[in-house]
Structure formats: C-alpha cells, structure tokens
C-alpha cells in the first residue's frame, strides 16, 4: 500500500505499527474499564469483514448500524468499509418507522443492532424490510430465547469469519488493498428540518481530508484520549471520532451508558471531546442550578470569582497580555472554584472541546472559556463536511471560526453562505436532481444566512428560510434570541415566532423540569406534573425575568412582546425535533398554531387538550389552561 487513501488502509497501518503495544479503545462495561489493543481490534474487524463477504456482501452494498457508541460500532464500520461496503448510521432513539425509512431508502442488506431494544425494532418491521439478509447483534442480554432466522450474534459472526479466513487466506488484505479514495464509505442522512432526510454520500477521500484538517489545526496525536458519545449517524462523529482516530491513532473511550457519561468523563479525563450545543447548554444549566442550590457562602465565592474568570478568558481569546492583578485574581479564582468545578464536570484534562450542529450562544463559549475549558465552535454539514473552526488563540465567541484547510467561502448577494470544500459529499443517494439544485457555479448553497467579519471569521445568523419579517417589513432572526434564552438554567427549549402579518415577535417556552423543579422545591411551591409546574404564577414570573433580561440586548423590532410556557416538552419521537435536537420550525408552527394565534389575539389564557395513553392501553384527554403572558 503506497498510498493511504482509505480508512481501512490506515487502520491496517496502525495495526502493523502498534500491534499489542498500544491501546486503541477502552470501554466501561459493568463498572470495569476494558482495553483493546490495535491487534485486538484488527482481529475482530478482519473476521467481521470476512463474515460479511462470506454471506454475499458486494462492493457498494449498504449496511445499517443501529446502536449506542461502543467498540462494536467502530469495528462494524471499518469491517464494512474493508469489504468495500457502505455504512449507514441510524440514531439509536429512532422509532421503528424511522428505522424502516433509513433501511429501505438506503437499500441496506445487513443491519448491526446493539441490543434487545434495537432488535425488537427490527423484528417489528421485518416484513417491510425484505432486502435485509441478516441482523447481527452484539449485546445478547434478553435475546437468548430469540430464534428468528434473521438474527445472528456477533460472536457467531466472528466464528464464521475466522473459519472463512482459514479457507481464503489473504482475502481480507486483498480487499483492503483494492479500496480507492473515491469509494463511498458512509451515507449520512441530513437532519430533515424541512422534510424527509436526504442521504448524503461521503467518499473515503473526503473523510480522510476532513479528518486531516482537524489533526492539522488541533494537533491530534497518538497520546490523546477521545470520548465517543455522539452517534455515528452524525457527520462530526464520523470525522472526529472514527476517521481522526484511525489516522492519528489516538485512544477512543466509550462510556458505559448515556446516564454515566459525566462520571465516565471524570475517570477518563479526555483531551478531545465533542458535544452538541444542547449538551453544553445542559452542563451549563446544571452548574447554574447547583450554584443556586448551594450555601450562601459558596454562592458568594462563586459569584465573586466568575467575573475574574470571564475577564481572563476574554484576555486570552483576544491574545492580550494579562496584568499582574488579573493574573493573581484569576489564579485565586482557579484554586478556589474553577479547578474543583472542572474536575467535577470531568473536564480537567480537556485540551480541546467542540460544538457544532446548530448555533450556540456566545455566552456558553464565554462561560466555559471563563472557567478554563477550551471550547470551540465548528461549522459544517453532512453535505459540506467541516468548513470552519476556531483556532487556539483566535477564538471569537460570536463566530464559527476561519475556514478549514481546503475550504473556501463566499456570500451570495442575498447573504447566503456558499462553500467549496475538498471534503464535500459526492452526491445524494437516489436524488441526483436535488444534488444539482444545491450548486450554483460550482459552489454549494448552504441555505444559511451569515457574513464574514473583518478578521475572516464566519458568523452564521440563521437559516435563510427561517428569517422572519414583521408587519412593516422589518426582519429578525428567531434563532438569535432562542440560543441566548437557552443559556438560562430554567429554559430548556424555546421557539420564537413572528410573521409578515404580525406586529411583534413572541415565543413558546419549554421550562427545564429538573432545574425549575428544584427551584420550586426550594421556594416551597407545590406541583404535580410538568404542565402544572409550567403554569404556576411564580414560574411564569421566573421565565418572564429571563426573557426580559434577553430583551434588553435585542434590537427593538426583535424584542419579544408575549410568551407562554408550554404544557409539554418538545419531543423528537413526535417529530417536533430532529434526532440531533434541532427544532422542526415549520412543523411546530403548524402543530401549535392555536397557541401561536392566542399570542396575538389579546386573550389571557387558552384551554388545550392533550391526548394521553395510560399504561393499560386506555386513551384519554387531559385539559389544561395555558396562560398568555405579556412583556
């Protein structure tokens, strides 16, 4: 292999370089960290790949992977690509109908499934996915009595692959050597905020180029540790988690479960970490909530130290030299508060943390930089690859950084961000017409509205389609106040609404049940359900204060004049959010049109009916009065 132009070739090179001398992956399993060397991983990938070849996988065939991040997910992906197949990542929280769409649309002939929960989804739709030959599962708990011929354990698949290797020596290595940079390696489905997700096809060359861009910018090395938590159905995990680990050789760590991530992060102390904006916001809300719950003295010390942290963070980001007084105060704040805080969050060893997928409040970046966590924002998509990222010493919280190596950006006359990138997708699967519609003079039209500042940083404002005009023609971006409101510890989600026939902007708020619930208990406010808590007068005043705080920073035309607290949380299972937790804005505006109309009707409250399904299968309707509040 003279040229490393595919991930399997790079994987084989690492095996030959490190063998049993270096750990490739760690996994927390039933309280114990299990380590896998490059030899361990290579052996499993080899036998899995040969199993797939033995049961008829041909180059270009698709394989869906459905499960939480574990070593088996990575092995299944590299094994598929080594056989020159194509990986289709599916979010583990997808319902059966969504799984059916992804499997059928991609023509997947095999499925790797994590556990009983995922296998049950497959069996529910078995008759509707006739092209699937086998479903290979790797966590057998609860599946011992399943006898369906569609199912096969990964342990059995590995045995079959090992026997096939004895009969066909050298076949695995031959398949790897036949791989080419223009082989499609992954199909990544778009978030589907405006309709059914489209299938973006990424080739091996694009994955490698994007990963090398990150390695060059943030200097990944074999001694780094990465925590793999974001699903492989997301382009960022494909590039940072899989491609970068295979190329740079850093160690990938897998948490025991979603519930133990914070605990496992503390144990691993990763140097590289990627969280979605919602996850960073959740950590921030948790910190703010715990500070509110702590003793008066600790709260006072925290509030005195935080301004010093912010000031030092701003000085560091602007590449200015800190004075002696600031150095002393920030050092004191670090030893009094921030060192322990970072340790409790598991971020003490973090060298670089990323966020992407949607806009994040600049306040989030300032907060984490203020406590000494090096968090950066990147911009890209399934189609564009990774386009921009912050560099150390050049981080501006309001921006998404400068273009990555190989990426170019221009703006259309309307302000749309257009991109050329060496790591761009090859086509949409089954929809070449949509692919051609996305380009103008060779430039990919992102659909995002933004501009480039005087320092060459990209600032992304909102989706072009999501910009709203008010009566009189003034425009505003709903996303701008939304991301700032989510900085509040008491607001989990919010959608800002307006329109050409509306005179002002308003919003629908999802309170954060945990944090508002703790606040209510501390203030001796009795409540029963989410809906009951959201409509308490004291909670409404709490949210009113948070919105008015943000209103003071907004231009007059974008200020929110009315709001209401929703009686339920927005739910991805009800198609209100995408699987990456982005708002399905049009869907929400249609579903809650009565509530939105009430915000502009002069009413003080509106009665809504919510369907409920009880545990015994009975269905009912719950009525609730929603209060309409002015600002």
Sorted by sequence, the CB contacts under 8 Å of residue 404 that are 6+ apart come out as: 210, 213, 214, 217, 386, 387, 388, 389, 421, 423
Question: What is the distance between the alpha carbons of residues 344 and 342, in angstroms, rounded to a whole number?
Answer: 5
**Position 194 confidence tier, pLDDT thresholds 50, 70, 90:** low
- Mean pLDDT, the chain, as a whole number? 90
* Residues of the chain above pLDDT 90, percent: 63
The predicted structure's pLDDT at residue 356: 85
Weakest mean pLDDT among 110-119, 204-213, 257-266, 274-283: 257-266
- What's the whole-model pTM score? 0.85
**Position 2 confidence tier, pLDDT thresholds 50, 70, 90:** very low
Contact between residue 397 and residue 412 where contact means Cβ atoms under 8 Å apart: no
The predicted structure's pLDDT at residue 14: 95
pLDDT tens-digit readout, 268-288: 889 999 988 888 988 998 898
pLDDT tens-digit readout, 447-480: 999 999 988 999 998 888 888 888 878 888 888 8
Weakest mean pLDDT among 97-111, 460-474, 525-539: 460-474
| Count of all residues that appear for the chain in the document | 631
Tokens of 295: 């003793």
Range among 160-164, 336-340, 453-457 rated most confident: 160-164
**Position 546 confidence tier, pLDDT thresholds 50, 70, 90:** very high
Mean pLDDT over 577-588 rounds to 83
Q: Give yes or no for residue 1 having a pLDDT over 50.
A: no
Which three-class secondary structure state does DSSP give residue 626? strand
Contact between residue 212 and residue 245 where contact means Cβ atoms under 8 Å apart: no
Weakest mean pLDDT among 173-187, 542-556, 572-586: 572-586
Name residue, tokens 């063998």. Answer: 19
Phi, psi of 497 (to 5 degrees): -125, 155
Question: What is the distance between the alpha carbons of residues 417 and 463, in angstroms, rounded to a whole number?
Answer: 10
Write down all domains in the chain, each with its CATH number in brackets: 7-202+233-245 (3.40.50.12780), 277-463 (3.40.50.12780), 467-630 (3.30.300.30)
Question: What is the distance between the alpha carbons of residues 529 and 152, in angstroms, rounded to a whole number?
Answer: 43
Range among 191-200, 447-456, 535-544, 552-561 rated most confident: 535-544
Sign of the alpha-carbon torsion through 336, 342, 343, 345? positive
Question: What is the distance between the alpha carbons of residues 580 and 380, in angstroms, rounded to a whole number?
Answer: 14
CA 106 to chain centre: 22
Sorted by sequence, the CB contacts under 8 Å of residue 373 that are 6+ apart come out as: 342, 345, 347, 350, 353
Tokens of 457: 């940083």
Q: Give yes or no for residue 365 having a pLDDT over 50.
A: yes
Question: What is the distance between the alpha carbons of residues 245 and 237, in angstroms, rounded to a whole number?
Answer: 10
Name residue, tokens 């320092």. Answer: 455
The predicted structure's pLDDT at residue 566: 93
**Position 628 confidence tier, pLDDT thresholds 50, 70, 90:** very high
**Burial annotation 505-540 (CB, 10 A radius, 16+ → b, else e):** bbbbbbbbeebbbbbbeeeebebeebbebbbbeebb
CA 541 to chain centre: 32
Q: Give yes or no for residue 117 having a pLDDT over 60.
A: yes
The predicted structure's pLDDT at residue 104: 96
Tokens of 515: 């944090």
Mean pLDDT over 556-584 rounds to 86
* Residues of the chain above pLDDT 70, percent: 98
Mean pLDDT over 570-599 rounds to 86
Mean pLDDT over 22-39 rounds to 93
The predicted structure's pLDDT at residue 257: 83
Q: Give yes or no for residue 238 having a pLDDT over 60.
A: yes
> Virtual CA dihedral for 213, 217, 218, 220, nearest 10 degrees?
40
Helix axes 362-370, 296-317, angle to 10 degrees: 100
The predicted structure's pLDDT at residue 616: 66
Tokens of 265: 């992060």
Mean pLDDT over 326-343 rounds to 92
């Amino acid at each position: 292999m003279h040229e490393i132009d595919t991930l399997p070739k790079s994987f084989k090179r690492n095996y030959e370089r490190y063998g049993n001398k270096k750990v490739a992956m760690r996994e927390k399993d039933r309280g114990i960290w299990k380590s896998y060397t490059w030899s361990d991983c290579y052996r499993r990938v080899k036998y899995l790949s040969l199993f797939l070849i033995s049961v008829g996988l041909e180059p270009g065939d698709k394989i869906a992977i459905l499960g939480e991040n574990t070593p088996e997910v990575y092995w299944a992906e590299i094994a598929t690509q080594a056989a020159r197949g194509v990986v289709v990542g599916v979010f583990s929280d997808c319902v059966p109908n969504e799984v059916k769409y992804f499997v059928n649309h991609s023509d997947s002939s095999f499925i790797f499934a994590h556990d009983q929960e995922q296998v049950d989804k497959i069996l529910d739709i078995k008759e509707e996915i006739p092209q699937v030959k086998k479903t290979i599962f790797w966590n057998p708990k609860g599946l011992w009595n399943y006898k369906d011929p569609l199912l096969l354990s990964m342990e059995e698949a590995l045995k079959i692959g090992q026997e096939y290797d004895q009969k066909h020596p050298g076949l695995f290595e031959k398949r790897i050597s036949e791989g080419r940079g223009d082989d499609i390696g992954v199909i990544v489905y778009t978030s589907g905020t405006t309709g059914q997700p489209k299938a973006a096809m990424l080739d091996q060359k694009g994955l490698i180029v994007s990963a090398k861009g990150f390695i060059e910018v943030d200097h990944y090395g074999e001694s780094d540790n990465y925590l793999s938590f974001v699903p492989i159905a997301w382009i960022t995990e494909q590039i940072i988690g899989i491609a970068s680990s295979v190329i740079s050789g850093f160690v990938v760590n897998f948490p025991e479960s979603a519930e133990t991530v914070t605990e496992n992060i503390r144990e691993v102390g990763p140097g590289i970490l990627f969280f979605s904006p919602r996850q960073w916001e959740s950590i921030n809300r948790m910190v703010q909530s715990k500070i509110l719950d702590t003793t008066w003295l600790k709260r006072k010390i925290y509030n005195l130290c935080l301004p010093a942290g912010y000031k030092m963070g701003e000085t560091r980001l602007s590449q200015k030299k800190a004075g002696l007084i600031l150095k002393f105060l920030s050092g004191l704040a670090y030893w009094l508060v921030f060192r322990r805080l970072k340790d409790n969050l598991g971020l003490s060893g973090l060298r670089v943390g990323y966020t992407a997928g949607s806009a994040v409040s600049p306040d989030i970046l300032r907060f984490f930089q203020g406590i000494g966590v090096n968090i950066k924002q990147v911009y890209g998509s399934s189609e564009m690859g990774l386009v921009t990222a912050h560099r150390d010493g050049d981080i501006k919280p309001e921006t998404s950084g400068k273009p990555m190596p190989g990426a170019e950006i221009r703006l259309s006359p309307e302000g749309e961000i257009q991109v050329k990138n060496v790591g761009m997708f090859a086509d949409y699967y089954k929809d070449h017409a949509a692919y051609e519609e996305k380009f103008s003079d060779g430039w990919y039209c992102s659909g995002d509205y933004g501009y480039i500042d005087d320092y060459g940083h990209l600032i992304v404002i909102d989706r072009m389609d999501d910009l709203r005009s008010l009566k009189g023609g003034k425009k505003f971006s709903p996303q701008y106040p939304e991301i700032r409101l989510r900085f509040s510890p008491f607001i989990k989600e919010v959608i800002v609404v307006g329109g050409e026939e509306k005179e002002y902007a308003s919003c629908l708020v999802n309170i954060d049940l945990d944090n508002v619930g703790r606040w209510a208990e501390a203030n001796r406010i009795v409540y029963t359900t989410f809906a009951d808590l959201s409509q308490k007068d004291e909670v409404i005043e709490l949210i009113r204060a948070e919105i008015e705080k943000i209103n003071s920073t907004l231009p007059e035309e974008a200020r929110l004049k009315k709001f209401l607290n929703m009686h339920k949380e927005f739910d991805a299972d009800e198609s209100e959010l995408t699987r990456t937790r982005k708002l399905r804005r049009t869907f929400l505006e249609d579903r809650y049109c009565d509530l939105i109309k009430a915000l502009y009707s002069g009413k003080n409250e509106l009665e809504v009916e919510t369907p409920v399904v009880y545990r015994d299968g009975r269905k009912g309707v719950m009525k609730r009065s929603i209060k309409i509040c002015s600002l």
